């Protein structure tokens, strides 16, 4: 079974680097991350493999879902310790710490068990939505219970005919005489849509009111509790759970709403606006799933590579473990440098969210899509490092690849994130947000100097040229621009990670204290700038290739 050791020194270093001191007392943040990391490694991590093997059980006669053994107890401990509400305002029962702290905690919890972490994550999303859009009366009834984690929340968007195209949803809401609504329809793939961790589940459901305009303009958001205020059971039930590739312990439910009682949040047809409020948080949280799993996979790979002896290592004594083979080193440095880049990107995004900085809007699709693609790539490399044993279930290493895979798909597929980036984010504030980032990359490149500075300057220039080309293409032939969206997201994400790792290299150079730790920080950043960044700079021709090569073969011949 794999274990998890929270990388507290790395987390603390990253918190400092992204400017945690602007948001509060950094020592307190590190203490919280340390204590929570201990909880994750001791209470949650041991359940990860068990949850994968056991999965969840669905009872078709009662429509109940039972989680894996130990899950309920661990969740109760999580709630009792007050971990769920660390970053919410004290008025609603929270701890008042910045979202940055929850982001670091999410990294730890995902590393311990992504399937477990999903339940609090969805609840946190529900809190964000209700906090901003619900009436004072609704907030009074729901928020404290959700902030504490005593109740859990769900997000109900997806239907069989409405996945990426949320505007195609057909669930209906009819007004009732008492001012509430009756919801009818079916939602699929609802994470923790039914479970036994808590009694109450608060479903946030997107539906259409009568005469709603078509598409996303006609979507309204409703609160549909599993139990109504008088204690009776609402007409929402789970009619099945999915059997899936990974996150087996997280129930993925089909929910049927059969004239279920719902309360409208805000005005009719404003549901998408409400969803957008929580989207930056939720997308960042999903990106952090990539970071967390990558950390766990890396730890597994290093532990195995230190022990496994196989073939004589060139340039080393006989009997030296595989960790000294240059090609194994290559994989470990790829993993390590990407993890540090992803962590900085995620934490920097969280700081921007905390500060209400529009940079958050630009960074969020990067933090979501790049970190989940890279999370998968890192998990893949972990299996590779562990060799045949990595492919065998009992080592627990292949689980990371299966678990993390969904993160590139849900909360807006990574393709949709790339479209969001080029369609909405490049021109944020008239393009100033991106221009500021590019200019700061240039300053960091100058300070760095040497090959590291040169590589960063080159990618900054590619970011700029790519954006210019995409803007023009988007205006003249959007199909050309859309063809370059995903390579551009990768280019820009790697550039931002390179920029932040450039700052890491500078901080490590200037720092004093643990010399070995600082040298490793510098070496990791240097590897990324010298070896990873140039590969992403080379994506520019793919960004500007247009759609012609993609369309060259008719769909019928593909
Ligand atoms: C385990 C799991 C948990 C989930 N949890 C939840 C949940 O809690 N709540 C919830 O509401 N939903 C949930 N989902 C649903 C999830 O959000 C959707 O699966 C996702 O949005 C993609 O929709 P889809 O599966 O219909 O894929 P599709 O939309 O059919 O996409 C298929 C492919 O087409 C691409 N594509 C689609 N449209 C475009 C476009 N305009 N441009 C370019 N490419 C495009 C996509 O990028 C993708 O590659 C979950 C799904 C799973 C599997």
pLDDT band for position 350 (50/70/90)?
very high
Output the residue whose Cα is nearest ligand 1's atom 40.
416
The β-bridge partners of 531 are none
Q: Give the pLDDT of residue 27.
A: 98
| Ligand 1 atom at shortest distance from the alpha carbon of 158 | 11
59 C-beta closer than 6 A to ligand 1: no
Q: Which of 164, 402, 407 maximizes ligand 1 atoms within 8 Å of its Cβ, making it the mutation to test the pocket?
A: 164
The tens digit of pLDDT for each residue in 208-252 reads: 999 999 999 999 999 999 999 999 999 999 999 999 999 999 999
- Does residue 53 have an active-site annotation? no
Q: By three-state DSSP, how is residue 191 classified?
A: strand
Q: To the nearest whole number, what is the mean pLDDT of the chain?
A: 97
Position of tokens 């969001």? 420
Q: Give the pLDDT of residue 119.
A: 98
Output the residue whose Cα is nearest ligand 1's atom 7.
190
Sequence-separated (6 or more) residues with CB below 8 Å from residue 447: 453, 502, 506
CA 221, 193, 156 angle in degrees (round to 5)? 25
Q: Give the pLDDT of residue 246.
A: 98
pLDDT band for position 476 (50/70/90)?
very high
Alpha helices in 225-358 (DSSP H): 271-307, 326-355
Q: Which of 126, 189, 418 maximizes ligand 1 atoms within 8 Å of its Cβ, making it the mutation to test the pocket?
A: 189
Q: By three-state DSSP, how is residue 460 classified?
A: helix
Over residues 447-467, mean pLDDT: 98
Q: By three-state DSSP, how is residue 196 classified?
A: coil
Contact 206, 278 (CB under 8 A): no
Output the residue whose Cα is nearest ligand 1's atom 24.
163
* Predicted confidence (pLDDT) at residue 19 exceeds the cutoff of 70: yes
Sequence-separated (6 or more) residues with CB below 8 Å from residue 510: none
Over residues 83-99, mean pLDDT: 95
Residue 331 CA to its chain's centroid (Å)? 23
Q: Give the pLDDT of residue 479.
A: 97
- How many A from CA of 517 to the centre of ligand 1? 41
Alpha helices in 356-476 (DSSP H): 359-386, 388-391, 397-404, 414-420, 432-448, 450-476
The tens digit of pLDDT for each residue in 165-224 reads: 999 999 999 999 999 999 999 999 999 999 999 999 999 999 999 999 999 999 999 999
Tally of CB atoms within 10 A around 556:
5
486 C-beta closer than 6 A to ligand 1: no
* Rounded Cα distance, 452 and 481, in Å: 30
CA 499, 12, 113 angle in degrees (round to 5)? 95
| Ligand 1 atom at shortest distance from the alpha carbon of 166 | 21
* Predicted confidence (pLDDT) at residue 474 exceeds the cutoff of 80: yes
279 C-beta closer than 6 A to ligand 1: no
Residue 495 CA to its chain's centroid (Å)? 19
- How many A from CA of 374 to the centre of ligand 1? 19
The tens digit of pLDDT for each residue in 280-312 reads: 899 999 999 999 999 999 999 999 999 999 999
Instruction: Give the Å distances, CA to CA, from 58 to 64, 69, 325.
Output: 6, 14, 47
The tens digit of pLDDT for each residue in 482-520 reads: 999 999 999 999 999 999 999 999 999 998 889 999 999
- How many A from CA of 288 to the centre of ligand 1? 19
Q: Give the pLDDT of residue 316.
A: 96
Output the residue whose Cα is nearest ligand 1's atom 20.
410
* Predicted confidence (pLDDT) at residue 2 exceeds the cutoff of 90: no
Output the residue whose Cα is nearest ligand 1's atom 41.
416
| Ligand 1 atom at shortest distance from the alpha carbon of 187 | 11
Contact 485, 421 (CB under 8 A): yes
Instruction: Give the Å distances, CA to CA, from 2 to 41, 187, 301, 379.
Output: 11, 35, 10, 13
Candidates 442, 443, 454, 447; CA nearest to 505 is: 447
Over residues 461-467, mean pLDDT: 98
Instruction: Give the Å distances, CA to CA, from 368 to 194, 313, 374, 429, 474.
Output: 26, 38, 10, 21, 23
pLDDT band for position 21 (50/70/90)?
very high
Output the residue whose Cα is nearest ligand 1's atom 9.
190
- How many A from CA of 410 to the centre of ligand 1? 5
The tens digit of pLDDT for each residue in 257-288 reads: 999 999 999 999 999 999 888 788 999 999 99
Q: Give the pLDDT of residue 1.
A: 55
**With pLDDT > 70 as the criterion, what percentage of the chain qualifies?**
100
Look up residue 198 and give its DSSP letter. -
* Predicted confidence (pLDDT) at residue 538 exceeds the cutoff of 80: yes
Q: Which of 271, 410, 422, 424 maximizes ligand 1 atoms within 8 Å of its Cβ, making it the mutation to test the pocket?
A: 410
Alpha helices in 40-178 (DSSP H): 47-54, 71-80, 99-112, 114-133, 136-148
456 C-beta closer than 6 A to ligand 1: no
């Amino acid at each position: 079974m794999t274990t998890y050791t929270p990388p507290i020194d790395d987390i603390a270093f990253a918190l400092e680097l992204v400017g945690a001191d602007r948001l509060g007392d950094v020592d307190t943040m590190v203490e919280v991350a340390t204590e929570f990391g201990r909880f994750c490694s001791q209470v949650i991590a041991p359940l990860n493999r068990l949850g994968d093997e056991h999965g969840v059980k669905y009872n078709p006669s009662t429509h109940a879902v039972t989680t894996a053994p130990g899950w309920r107890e661990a969740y109760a401990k999580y709630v009792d310790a007050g971990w769920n509400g660390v970053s919410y305002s004290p008025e609603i029962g929270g701890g008042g710490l910045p979202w940055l702290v929850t982001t670091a905690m999410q990294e730890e919890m995902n590393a311990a068990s992504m399937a477990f972490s999903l339940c609090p994550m969805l609840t946190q999303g529900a809190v964000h939505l209700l906090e901003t859009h619900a009436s004072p009366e609704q907030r009074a009834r729901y928020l404290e219970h959700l902030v504490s984690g005593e109740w859990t929340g769900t997000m109900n968007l997806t239907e069989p005919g409405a996945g990426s195209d949320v505007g195609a949803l057909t669930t209906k809401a009819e007004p009732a005489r008492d001012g509430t609504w009756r919801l009818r329809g079916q939602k699929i793939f609802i994470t923790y849509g039914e479970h036994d961790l808590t009694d109450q589940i608060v479903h946030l459901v997107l539906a259409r009111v009568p005469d709603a305009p078509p598409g996303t303009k006609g979507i309204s958001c409703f609160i549909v509790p599993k139990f109504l205020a008088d204690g009776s059971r609402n007409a929402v039930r789970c009619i099945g759970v999915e059997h899936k590739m990974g996150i087996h312990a997280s129930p993925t439910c089909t929910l049927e709403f059969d004239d279920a009682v719902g309360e409208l949040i805000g005005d009719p047809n404003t549901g998408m606006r409400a969803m957008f409020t929580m989207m930056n948080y939720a997308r960042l949280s999903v990106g952090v799933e990539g970071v967390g799993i990558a950390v766990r996979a890396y730890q597994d790979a290093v532990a195995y590579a230190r022990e496994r002896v196989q073939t004589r290592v060139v340039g080393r004594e006989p009997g030296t473990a595989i960790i000294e083979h240059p090609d194994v080193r290559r994989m470990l440095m790829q993993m390590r440098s990407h993890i540090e880049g992803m962590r900085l990107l995620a934490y920097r995004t969280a700081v921007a969210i905390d500060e209400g900085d529009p940079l958050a809007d630009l960074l969020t699709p990067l933090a979501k899509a790049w970190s989940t693609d890279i999370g998968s790539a890192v998990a893949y490399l972990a299996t590779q490092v562990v060799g045949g044993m990595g492919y065998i279930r009992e080592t627990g290493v292949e689980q990371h690849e299966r678990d993390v895979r969904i993160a590139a798909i849900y909360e807006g597929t990574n393709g949709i994130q790339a479209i969001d980036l080029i369609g909405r984010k490049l021109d944020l504030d008239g393009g100033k947000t991106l221009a500021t980032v590019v200019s700061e990359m240039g300053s960091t490149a100058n300070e760095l100097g040497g090959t590291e500075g040169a590589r960063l300057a080159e990618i900054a220039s590619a970011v700029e040229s790519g954006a210019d080309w995409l803007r023009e293409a988007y205006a003249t032939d959007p199909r050309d621009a859309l063809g370059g969206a995903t390579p551009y997201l990768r280019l820009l994400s790697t550039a931002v990670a390179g920029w932040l790792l450039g700052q890491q290299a500078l901080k490590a150079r200037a720092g004093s204290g643990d010399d070995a730790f600082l040298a490793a920080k510098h070496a990791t950043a240097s590897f990324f700038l010298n070896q990873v960044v140039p590969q992403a700079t080379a994506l520019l021709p793919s960004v500007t290739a247009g759609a012609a090569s993609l369309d060259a073969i008719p769909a019928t011949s593909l």
